[in-house]
Every structure is written in structure tokens, then in C-alpha cells.
Amino acid sequence: MPPQTHNILSSFFFIVAVAVVNLTLTAAATATSSGDLPAFREAPAFRNGRECPKTTWSSALEKNSYNPSLIHIAMTLDATYLRGSVAGVFSVLQHASCPENIVFHFIATHRRAELRRVIAATFPYLSFHLYHFDTNLVRGKISYSIRRALDQPLNYARIYFANLLPAGVRRIIYFDSDLIVVDDVAKLWGINLGRHVVGAPEYCHANFTNYFTQKFWSNPAFTASFRGRKPCYFNTGVMVIDLGRWREGKYTEKVEHWMRVQKRYRIYELGSLPPFLLVFAGDVERVEHRWNQHGLGGDNLVGLCRDLHPGHVSLLHWSGKGKPWLRLDSKRPCPLDSLWAPYDLFRHSSLFSDS
């Protein structure tokens, strides 16, 4: 074979191989919109130690009775972030001292039967319940923001936990779908909220004025909402919420109020975070920063790599545009994405089959 022909064929096969890889990675990242949901390997069974109290979750929820031995965690489920949600659940169970005493409460808008099957097949021993979130609850209340992902109705479901979950669930930990827990979640569950409704790590060094527009800060009627408080930024991707106090204080209505104000006056640019800040900033039970090492996905526009904040780490959170599973699949990971990879149960399709 002439050298020129050999070189041409080699280049051709290289291009084909690259195209196959790219197509495979694209299919894995976008298996969301049209076909089947992503497939996952079955997680191992995680069992309680002898020191864990024996309890069941289903009867407690059916009777709306409070069971102090259970830890309740809420997460949203959708096709786009399912891979991240599965990794998050896996990480919680792997590091929990009493994994069988954890109940997951999943919120979804579409494809609930399929999502239920995926979770049940991936975690056969998991105690969980799946709830329908009616997007009509936020119809006409969501304003466009700087990133489309922030405008999805499911991003606002955390406002309605008190309505969606049974009365027997008096406290909930909310986790975003782009994080992993590397510590015993019972430590977070056990924090004393005192008189507060919400507990979360606060970041008072952040420039709080940046979260609202000049139209907000120039209106005394708006700024009066912070009177008597020293507001600080907190990330709503990790929160401990007292649902009993939330219900009593009608906090869903309070957050919705600011969503309506936003529709009329455009007082902020960022999705569901600012109305939470307007209601709770400066009135949050402070949680150690180790429980939300956030921002690992970069900013909301570019998603550049970032380092960890100084201090201990109990939870890694890829908030921002860059998600670890997409960067790993694209072969352009950030250094910290390697910490997420061991919790990834995604079943990769083989590039070449034996048939």
C-alpha cells in the first residue's frame, strides 16, 4: 500500500474513532430529552450498625406521626440532573452511620414512573417516596434569570416542601442534585435550629448588594424588608428546614410575595435564591462552612475550575454552570471533579460491542 494511501486511511479511521467517542459522550450527556433515562449500576446495600435504633418509615408517614429516629432528605429528580442526584444519594448512604434510618423524599414534575423505577433499581434497599410537583404552582411567578437552568419550575419546588410532604415530616434536609456528602449526614441533621426556620452556612464576606438590582436598593419600601436584620448570603442548595415552623409562619406565601414583586419590578437576576434571601437572610441558624463547599462549578456564565475554600470538608457542591459529569465525559475535567467520580454509578455504554 502506498504511504499516501496508508496515511489517508489512518487519518480517516482516527476521525471516525473521534466521532464515535464524541457521539457517545453527547448521548450520555443528553439522554434526557428524548429517549430512555440514563442507566446506573446497582448500589451496594448499606446496613445499620448495632447502635442504630430500629425503625420503619412507611407507617410513620401514613399516620402523619413524628419519628425522631428518621433522617429526612429532600431532593428533586429530573432527567437532566439524574446522574448528579444518584451520585448524591450514593454518597449520603456510603458515609451514613445509620443508612437504613434515612428516608429520601424526591420531587419530580415529569416521567415519575420511570424515575421511580430507576431509583428502585439503583438503590433496591432505599427508603424513599416520590412526589409530584405541580408546575402550575409557579406559573406566572418565575422571572427569567442569567442562566436558563435557574428558571426551571423544579428549581422552585423547595419553596413548597411544607405543602408536599406529610405532616409527620417536621424537619428536612434539602440537597441540590450537584453535590456529594463525604461525612455522616446525621451530624448535619442534629444541628440545633433554635428559633430559626432555616439552617445553612452563611457567607457574610460576600457582597450582598450584588444579589439585587439598583431598582431594589433605591426603593426604601424594598430595603425595609431587611430592617432589624444583618443579612448575609447563604446558598440554598444545602438547607436544614423546620417544616413545622415553616407551616406555622406561612413562609411559602412570604417567598411567593417576593416572586410577584420581582415579576413587576425586576429587583434581582438570579432564579430562586433572591426571594429566599429576602425572607431569611440575617435570620438563619449558622451551619459550619464544611457543610457546603459550594461554587465548584464556577460561575453561572463560564463554569471555570475553582479550588476548595479553606477548612474542613463534609460536602462538595458543584453549584455554578460546570457540572462534574459533563466535564468528565468531555475529557476536560477540573481537578476537583475526580472527587465526584467515585460516586458516579452511571453505566457507560461500550464504544464497540462484541457483536
CATH number at residue 93: 3.90.550.10
Average pLDDT, the chain: 87
Residue with the three cell numbers 453561572: 300
Average pLDDT of the residues in 187-206:
97
- Report which of 171, 176, 187, 208 is spatially closest to residue 290, judged by C-alpha positions: 187
CA distances from residue 228 to 69, 198, 231, 250 in whole angstroms, order as listed: 37, 18, 9, 20
DSSP states along 235-273: -TTEEEEEHHHHHHHTHHHHHHHHHHHHHHH---SSTTH
Q: What pLDDT was estimated at residue 301?
A: 79
Would 30 be classed as within a structural domain?
no
Q: What pLDDT was estimated at residue 146?
A: 62
Burial (Cβ within 10 Å: 0-12, 13-18, ≥19) of residue 140? exposed
Would 165 be classed as within a structural domain?
yes
Q: Is the pLDDT of residue 218 over 90?
A: yes
Would 162 be classed as within a structural domain?
yes
To the question of pTM greater than 0.75 for the whole model, the response is yes
pLDDT band at 289 (very low <50, low <70, confident <90, very high): very high
Among 55-69, 108-122, 151-165, 167-181, the least confident range: 55-69
Q: What is the CA radius of gyration of the chain?
A: 22
Would 349 be classed as within a structural domain?
no
Would 84 be classed as within a structural domain?
yes
CA distance 40 to 164: 28
pLDDT band at 18 (very low <50, low <70, confident <90, very high): very low
Domain containing 118 equals 71-297+310-319
Q: What pLDDT was estimated at residue 268?
A: 93
Among 96-105, 137-146, 179-188, 325-334, the least confident range: 137-146
CA distance 159 to 13: 52
pLDDT band at 12 (very low <50, low <70, confident <90, very high): very low
Among 61-75, 101-115, 256-270, 321-335, the least confident range: 61-75
CA distances from residue 33 to 30, 112, 162, 182, 345 in whole angstroms, order as listed: 7, 14, 30, 31, 20
Q: What pLDDT was estimated at residue 263?
A: 92
Q: Is the pLDDT of residue 142 over 60?
A: yes
Would 327 be classed as within a structural domain?
no
Would 1 be classed as within a structural domain?
no
Q: What pLDDT was estimated at residue 61?
A: 54
pLDDT higher for 160 or 30?
160
Average pLDDT of the residues in 223-243:
97
Q: What pLDDT was estimated at residue 149?
A: 65
Q: Is the pLDDT of residue 44 over 70?
A: yes
pLDDT higher for 318 or 67?
318
CA distance 316 to 336: 9
CA distance 156 to 220: 27
Alpha helices by DSSP H, listed for the chain, are: 3-29, 58-62, 82-95, 112-122, 161-164, 185-189, 214-217, 220-223, 243-249, 251-265, 273-280, 324-329, 337-340
CA distance 291 to 289: 5
Would 136 be classed as within a structural domain?
yes
- What is the number of structural domains in the chain? 1
Residue with the three cell numbers 431509583: 119
The share of the chain scoring above pLDDT 90, in percent, equals 75
